[in-house]
Structure 1
């Protein structure tokens, strides 16, 4: 944490962060991108492909996403240092790998929320009250 985190935020910064998101998440993102840039080309290519996929299907909030991308950088930095082949990291099915990887970061995922909303709506339409919340707010 930086020294700034112990000080109250100015009103202007609070408003700005409402629009742009927390500055801490942006700092973490820039650090992650620098780590990826330092990887050997084939590892960097794999991480960038994963990143594209995760941007569509990964956690929706900044904190979960930042943690996930930092862990991804850790994994590929260690794999590059150990000389682990790309195929050995992913196995035969890259989608299976990334889906299993994402399971660790499901909180905050808009996809999870939408699945719950969809299931709840179908339950209601079928006349079944399962007690699930419908987050249609």
Structure 2
């Protein structure tokens, strides 16, 4: 890993991510719209801190919508009646560390300390 990748992250991961986003952007409507909407949601909901896990998830998302477009599968047949439930179930399959994990640990530590359960 080059010195600048320690600051910016892996260039290979960034290239793969951008390639997968381009794949989704190149899909025909309505698949592109659905893929990009899920991508946007994952940027807010997912909160993954593991770059490899995020790259895998976005690549799998692109694969899912490319396959649906190739097969002509209706969007609702993929996501069902509740797109939020589908998106969150999809994201849960990628079990990397999430931003919220750090805050959960911080909360537990603070409450333990306040309750006198933790180290002083």
TM range (shorter): 0.7 to 0.9
Question: Could you tell me how far 1:128 is from its partner in structure 2?
Answer: 5.1
Separation in 1, partners of 2:91, 2:25: 22
Question: Could you tell me how far 1:123 is from its partner in structure 2?
Answer: 4.5
Matched positions, count: 117
Normalising by structure 2, report the TM-score. 0.84
Question: Could you tell me how far 1:49 is from its partner in structure 2?
Answer: 1.0
Normalising by structure 1, report the TM-score. 0.75
Residue 57 (structure 1) aligned with residue 42 (structure 2): no
CA distance 1:102–1:116, shift in 2 (3 Å)? farther
Residue pair 2:25, 2:36 contacting (<8 A) in 1 also: no
Separation in 1, partners of 2:113, 2:79: 40
Q: CA RMSD in A?
A: 1.9
Q: Residue 121 of structure 1 corresponds to which residue in structure 2?
A: 110
Question: Runs of 5+ in structure 2 lacking a partner?
Answer: none
Residue 91 (structure 1) aligned with residue 80 (structure 2): yes
Question: Runs of 5+ in structure 1 lacking a partner?
Answer: 1-8, 130-137
Highest RCO, 1 vs 2 (Cα 8 Å, sep ≥ 6): 2
Question: Could you tell me how far 1:120 is from its partner in structure 2?
Answer: 4.3
